[in-house]
Amino acid sequence: MDGAGFPETRSTCPYCGVGCGVLLRADGQGGLDVRGDPDHPANRGRLCSKGSALAETVGLEGRLLAPRIDGQDATWDDALTLVADKFRAAIDTHGPDSVAFYVSGQLLTEDYYIANKLMKGFIGSANIDTNSRLCMASTVAGHRRAFGTDTVPGTYEDLDEADLVVLVGSNLAWCHPVLHQRVLAAKQARGTKIVVIDPRRTATCDGADMHLPLQPGSDVALFNRLLVTLYEGGALDNAYLRHTQGFDAALDAAFNDKTAVTGLSDAQIDAFCQLWMRTEKVVTVFSQGVNQSSSGSDKVNAILNCHLATGRIGQPGMGPLSVTGQPNAMGGREVGGLANMLACHLDIENPDHRAAVRDFWQAPAMPEAPGLKAVDMFRAVGDGRIKALWIIHTNPAVSMPDADAVRTAIKGCDFTVVSDITAQTDTARLADVLLPATAWAEKEGTVTNSDRTISRQRAVLPATGQARPDWAILAEVGARMGFAKAFDYATPAEIFREYAALSGIAGRLGRDFDISGLKGLTDAGYDRLTPTRWPVTEARQGGRFFGDGAFFHADGKARLLPVSHRAPAAKTAPRYPFRLNTGRVRDQWHTMTRTGLSPRLSAHLAEPFLDIHPDDARAQGIVPADLVRVTSPQGRAILRARITDAVQPGQVFAPMHWTGETAPSARIDALVAPVTDPVSGQPESKASVVAVQPFAAAWYGFAVSRTDMVPDCAYWARMRTQAGWRAELAGEAPVADWEAEALRLFGLPQGETAVILDAARGIARVAVFAGGRLQGALFVAPEPVAVMRDHLATLPGQEAHGVLSGRPPADMPDPGPVLCACFNVGVGTLLRAIEGDGLLSVDAVGAALQAGTNCGSCKPEIAALLRAAQVREAAE
């Protein structure tokens, strides 16, 4: 309890699958204080930049406050009745497979459980899939093939105890920063070696001992070579192999694979294989670079093969570790959120499993076959097979591959419901019915992180507007569809107890997921629940799996799979010569509906971009800061070029966060082909083919404003700032009156303007004031505008004398783009300190400027600045 009388409450960060514990304290005015929970085993008090900025994302801005039908506010009663009636009508007329739920790793386990129960047990279809399909379905498939269940064998503690951590397709420094800090701490404490396997040189490479920039999609060939090396080097664990099947076939396939496809030298491959072979305590961490591939499941099994063949699994400091992208991706896997699973890791195609769940739920209608996976689901929406669709806490009109086609499909669906916290998303705009859901910090439930730790999310703020918990919304629709008895829940604790009881049945059927030890949890016990790693039974709690060689296939043995390299599905050709990789940036989350509310986070990378190699840029006539048009067989985008050798020739990278709300021409998933892994159904989001050309803009602009802007031009990207908004602009058509255009952009009917015009050179600068304070400023030039953006972004609301110069006064240095979000330290400030004060290390920078001393997420970038400065100095 603090001086103001508000207690601190333990909860969990709502972003990535690390699942960091947070301590929340409401300020009594709708706001929060947030700090890392020192007692949570995932983070021990640490938070990354996103977690540290959580308090900036809980306001009312953008919230959906009331149900809406056809864009008009409605009562809950009318909205729920309409949803139930429409779903019932579709089912009665077209059958249960004419409806679908598309849900999210943002859902709490209790919400997920109710959605899954309603669809699979009572509607009688398996057409429920989750955006986790885009994230780690290939890991699920690989685990099930190898282990017999979707089991994560190890724990985060293995990262502390490993002597070698191999990061495959994982930019851990940006996507799971707290785990990355943990790996770096192990390196410091015990000399843990770090290997990064990634086509790109990412921030994660800065702390690594070895970077293998393999060709996209060639991971199977590399790990097959490792398996051969382990065999030839006598590193197999023959005793452990007795707990497995399939080694000979896997080895044959490995011998037949060729490493040339990796693009790596023999020396690079040999160095990696020897290091892996000689190091007993090895953890192989893998993420989206492995999963988001048309051969993702095979990649996972190629990795698992090596751990199984050496018995390096389920022991301290050893094993494969999949890290998930979402806070409750694991909970969704456990509860049956995927279209091909039942709850508690039970199999939908197994009649005994189906019967057990049917009896437990007293379900009237159970599907006998898997439902539609995400890509197929939206195809079915597009061709009219799905008549009623319910999308919950996800934004498929942006985030699905072939996003333009998905947007068209949703728009054309007979009836679409969207439950969300945000009123205006690309998907919410398409809904017939919008349902306001409670947000993080307003809702109660559990999540499971990447190492099987179940943690509570707790409510510390009241529900906003008329928002309701997702489980309650789903249960109410279930009741109105005629299943009142089965969906009569009063609390999430009640749902959790039912789920835990069902898991006991799953345990008796030989499944790994068993938390039946929690089925008797009282409401008070649920309130108090501390982070708990499953399984939780009378016999055991937590721990690692498979160290004893006991697996979940019927014969109790693991399977090594014969896997062979398969190239990405899309082939480069003269028309589409570049391979497009997509991914995350450090300070944004998914489609930015929450992190985009934080000015601090938005200052790191304020504009969508395309990384392209210098040789390719030269060949295409692209110079720094150019805009480029990127075209694929599916769609097109306009992005800012960043010329960098972090990507290889022939490859380009673009982030996946920007939407129709923030940069309509940068919806990168519109370019991604809807091809999937044949086993997992996961889309290949990192290997589409594209063409890249300079974008011929008639003019370029940069603007800052106190209020949100309404751009209307070929390219725009807007971001929040401490003082309002900033936007990058470019147009193809000339503008006759820039003063009028500025007033329109800033949404002002009139204002006191200051204008510099040089029509002959195509230059215009317009500042608009009200009461002597800057409302907005627009800078236009025939080439990318050269002004001090980060300085200008601070000026709205100020008197801002001299704003039209576009630069700060001589005595006020430009801070540059923010690198350290925690202490708001910009690149300009860092460079001045590094070069002016002769700082030589990340620690010295931290001591001088605090940068990097809180969450540490920016440390790799500070290290890169230091290295670049040292290179410059050496060259002088």
Residue 446 has φ and ψ, to the nearest 5°, of: -130, 155
CB of residue 180 vs ligand SF4: minimum separation in angstroms?
8
CB 21 within 8 A of CB 454: no
- Nearer to ligand SF4 by Cβ, of 12 and 229: the residue is 12
For residues 376 and 123, what is the distance between their CA atoms, to the nearest angstrom? 19
CB of residue 532 vs ligand SF4: minimum separation in angstroms?
17
CB of residue 487 vs ligand SF4: minimum separation in angstroms?
31
Task: Candidates 11, 20, 576, 686: give the one binding ligand SF4 (CB under 6 A).
Answer: 20
Q: Coil, strand, or helix at residue 471? A: helix
DSSP state of 687: -
- Nearer to ligand SF4 by Cβ, of 179 and 766: the residue is 179
108 forms part of the interface with ligand SF4 (CB under 6 A): no
Cβ-based neighbours of 265, under 8 Å, separated by 6 or more? none
User: What would the two tokens of residue 271 be?
Assistant: 């160095």
CB of residue 855 vs ligand SF4: minimum separation in angstroms?
8
Q: Which residues of 820-830 are buried (b: 16+ CB within 10 A; e: fewer)?
A: bbbbbbbbbbb
H helical segments located in 758-858: 789-792, 827-831, 842-849
Please give the C-alpha separations between residue 795 and each of 22, 418, 747, 767, in angstroms, as whole numbers: 34, 38, 18, 11
For residues 471 and 454, what is the distance between their CA atoms, to the nearest angstrom? 18
User: What would the two tokens of residue 12 be?
Assistant: 């969990």
Draw the binding track, 362-391, toward ligand SF4 (x: CB under 6 A; -: no contact): ------------------------------
For residues 70 and 57, what is the distance between their CA atoms, to the nearest angstrom? 28
Draw the binding track, 495-514, toward ligand SF4 (x: CB under 6 A; -: no contact): --------------------
H helical segments located in 31-151: 49-52, 76-94, 109-116, 137-147
CB of residue 335 vs ligand SF4: minimum separation in angstroms?
20
173 forms part of the interface with ligand SF4 (CB under 6 A): no
- Nearer to ligand SF4 by Cβ, of 43 and 427: the residue is 43
- Nearer to ligand SF4 by Cβ, of 42 and 406: the residue is 42
18 forms part of the interface with ligand SF4 (CB under 6 A): yes
For residues 366 and 724, what is the distance between their CA atoms, to the nearest angstrom? 52
16 forms part of the interface with ligand SF4 (CB under 6 A): yes
User: What would the two tokens of residue 362 be?
Assistant: 């007293």
Residue 761 has φ and ψ, to the nearest 5°, of: -95, 0
Cβ-based neighbours of 253, under 8 Å, separated by 6 or more? 224, 562, 563, 564
Binding segment (CB under 6 A) for ligand SF4, from list 8-16, 295-303, 692-700, 764-772? 8-16
- Nearer to ligand SF4 by Cβ, of 179 and 428: the residue is 179
Q: Which residues of 478-496 are buried (b: 16+ CB within 10 A; e: fewer)?
A: bbbbebeebbebebbbebb
- Per DSSP, the residues of 831-848 read HIIIIIS---SHHHHHHH
Q: What angle do CA 387, 388, 392 make, to 5 degrees?
A: 145
254 forms part of the interface with ligand SF4 (CB under 6 A): no
Is the C-alpha dihedral spanning 719, 177, 300, 127 positive or negative?
negative
CB atoms within 10 A of CB 462: 12
531 forms part of the interface with ligand SF4 (CB under 6 A): no
- Nearer to ligand SF4 by Cβ, of 51 and 674: the residue is 51
657 forms part of the interface with ligand SF4 (CB under 6 A): no
- Nearer to ligand SF4 by Cβ, of 176 and 604: the residue is 176
For residues 452 and 454, what is the distance between their CA atoms, to the nearest angstrom? 6
Q: Strand 319-322 and strand 388-392: pairing? A: unpaired
- Nearer to ligand SF4 by Cβ, of 435 and 592: the residue is 592
447 forms part of the interface with ligand SF4 (CB under 6 A): no
DSSP-assigned beta bridge partners for residue 218 = none
CB of residue 49 vs ligand SF4: minimum separation in angstroms?
7
For residues 790 and 787, what is the distance between their CA atoms, to the nearest angstrom? 9
Task: Candidates 11, 37, 51, 478: give the one binding ligand SF4 (CB under 6 A).
Answer: 51
666 forms part of the interface with ligand SF4 (CB under 6 A): no
User: What would the two tokens of residue 5 be?
Assistant: 């009388």
- Nearer to ligand SF4 by Cβ, of 174 and 489: the residue is 174
- Nearer to ligand SF4 by Cβ, of 18 and 230: the residue is 18
15 forms part of the interface with ligand SF4 (CB under 6 A): yes
- Nearer to ligand SF4 by Cβ, of 424 and 530: the residue is 530
Cβ-based neighbours of 739, under 8 Å, separated by 6 or more? 753, 755, 766
Q: Strand 193-197 and strand 210-212: pairing? A: parallel
13 forms part of the interface with ligand SF4 (CB under 6 A): yes
Q: Coil, strand, or helix at residue 762? A: coil
Residue closest to ligand SF4, measured at CB: 51
- Nearer to ligand SF4 by Cβ, of 50 and 120: the residue is 50
- Nearer to ligand SF4 by Cβ, of 816 and 856: the residue is 856
For residues 224 and 90, what is the distance between their CA atoms, to the nearest angstrom? 49
CB of residue 159 vs ligand SF4: minimum separation in angstroms?
13
**198-217 residues near ligand SF4, rule: CB under 6 A:** none
Nearest to 508 by CA among 308, 360, 649: 360
CB of residue 718 vs ligand SF4: minimum separation in angstroms?
24
- Nearer to ligand SF4 by Cβ, of 53 and 723: the residue is 53
- Nearer to ligand SF4 by Cβ, of 18 and 500: the residue is 18
Draw the binding track, 119-158, toward ligand SF4 (x: CB under 6 A; -: no contact): ----------------------------------------
Residue 183 CA neighbour count, 13 Å, CB half: 30
CB of residue 323 vs ligand SF4: minimum separation in angstroms?
10
CB atoms within 10 A of CB 268: 18
312 forms part of the interface with ligand SF4 (CB under 6 A): no
Cβ-based neighbours of 616, under 8 Å, separated by 6 or more? 578, 622, 649, 650, 652, 692
Number of residues that bind ligand SF4 (CB under 6 A): 14
**30-49 residues near ligand SF4, rule: CB under 6 A:** 43, 47-48
58 forms part of the interface with ligand SF4 (CB under 6 A): no
CB of residue 15 vs ligand SF4: minimum separation in angstroms?
3
Task: Candidates 67, 177, 332, 796: give the one binding ligand SF4 (CB under 6 A).
Answer: 177
CB of residue 52 vs ligand SF4: minimum separation in angstroms?
7
Q: Coil, strand, or helix at residue 692? A: strand
For residues 81 and 694, what is the distance between their CA atoms, to the nearest angstrom? 52
- Nearer to ligand SF4 by Cβ, of 177 and 660: the residue is 177
Binding segment (CB under 6 A) for ligand SF4, from list 17-25, 663-671, 690-698, 777-785? 17-25
For residues 323 and 329, what is the distance between their CA atoms, to the nearest angstrom? 10
- Nearer to ligand SF4 by Cβ, of 178 and 606: the residue is 178
CB 75 within 8 A of CB 57: no
CB 677 within 8 A of CB 138: yes
- Nearer to ligand SF4 by Cβ, of 19 and 148: the residue is 19
105 forms part of the interface with ligand SF4 (CB under 6 A): no
Binding segment (CB under 6 A) for ligand SF4, from list 175-183, 502-510, 732-740, 822-830? 175-183
178 forms part of the interface with ligand SF4 (CB under 6 A): yes
Task: Candidates 86, 144, 145, 176: give the one binding ligand SF4 (CB under 6 A).
Answer: 176
Q: Which residues are near ligand SF4 by CB under 6 A?
A: 13, 15-16, 18-20, 43, 47-48, 50-51, 176-178
